[in-house]
Structure 1
Amino acid sequence: MNEETTPDAARPMRAIKSFVMRAGRMTEGQQRGLQLGWPRFGLELAAGLQDFDEVFGRQAPRTFEIGFGMGQATLEMAAAAPDEDFIGVEVHRPGVGALLNGMLTQQLENIRVYSCDALEVLRDCVADASLDRVLLFFPDPWHKARHNKRRIVQPEWAQLVRQKLKVGGVLHMATDWQPYAEHMLEVMNAAPGYRNLAVDGGYIPRPVERPVTKFERRGERLGHGVWDLKFRREH
């Protein structure tokens, strides 16, 4: 048993979902991505614990991204870091198809994809202390107070992520919803085993390695802020 595993940590994560399944039409490109890309780059939750060195055919720094949307940022990060590996998880099939289509078009092979609940993948498929980074960019903020319990960033989630990060590994989050940013900061500053990498204990400037998405640029034009947070696993 990992030294970080406790009776609480071993308990299944809550059943409340932090996402809503949305129906969406598939473009030809997205369908192509699923048809041609999934057999090469798709991974199944049912396969259980993975040896990602074997999956990727090498040892490399490894990033786990929760909810990659349409995959634009994932593609940009993977293209900019060919010596690193990326594991992306997204529940919405059009986004999965878009990422896979982009991989085929750009001939990128350093990404693997799950299409299911990221919490289940973390718990069942990722070895403890095996990830260099975990990314959570622009998760659903669940604005209404009665829905705040659906936010993915909760104390038990923070400990699951910490369990999967290597010592020294980093959790990087970003949101354009200030109340959620404040919630993230409150949860993570209280989470044991982490250190906030912001000098003042708050937010960090946007790191150069996080691509600016179309969604974010539109928000900037509308005067929306974006808050980035980085926490490192200390022990």
Structure 2
Amino acid sequence: METAPNFSELKILYVEDEAVIRKALEKPLSRRVKNLYIAANGQEGLDMFREHRPDIVVTDINMPVMDGFRMIELIREINPEVPVIITTALNEEHHISQMTAINVNSYIIKPIDIRELLQRVHDALHGTQSQAHAEGEDEVLVIGPQTPQQKVLPSLYQFLKKHHVFGEEITNREIFSDRKLLERCIAAVRKLQQSGRIMFLDKNLIPVLDHSSPVAPCNKSLLEMENYLRSQVKAPTDNPATAEQGSTNGTT
């Protein structure tokens, strides 16, 4: 097992407009780094970057006064090499192409797991992000009692993306509007579970090897979860009225 990264000499700029989220990360981050600079919007973040020249920037996207993308563009003019990690909500993933365009090192989906964030920081600073993706074959995703329920789908989504089940441009919204794509994801999860790459645990931390036993934290079986996801897929785009009209026109 790898030892925890040592950030004792690290300076981080953290930009987030939501006070609750800032407070949640302020304490665990400040304990691990030399200096933590916190800003509530892009303009404050830019001013702090100019003054303190941090080693890495962690920032939200949608903020008042100046958004994260504009702040990053201006920071890149000052230091084109500084690593940047974006924090984003699951429903903001349409921004991914823009993240790529401005050379963001990584992004992490809220709610943020501090361990995951620290690993992303370590990877960005050491240029190991692409290597980590390349070594994704050895990674195991564990879903169990310690996994917040709201993190289950985002974690599976990111894991499938790492394993190239679908392209970087595919968002969660597209998955839930395309039955074939959803079925592909479900089949991939089953295959990764069978190979040991995804591990589902019950409330007693015992691996669930079938599809009918309850899985923590939602206490539903994998089959129940799959059927629930299927029920969320939007109806096919075929318009019954249009189809009926076409049939009528064909018989006249």
Same-fold call, TM cutoff 0.5: no
Higher strand share: 1
Larger Rg: 1 or 2? 2
What's the TM-score once normalised by structure 2's chain length? 0.30
What's the TM-score once normalised by structure 1's chain length? 0.32
Instruction: Return the structure number with greater relative CO, CA threshold 8 A, min gap 6.
Output: 1
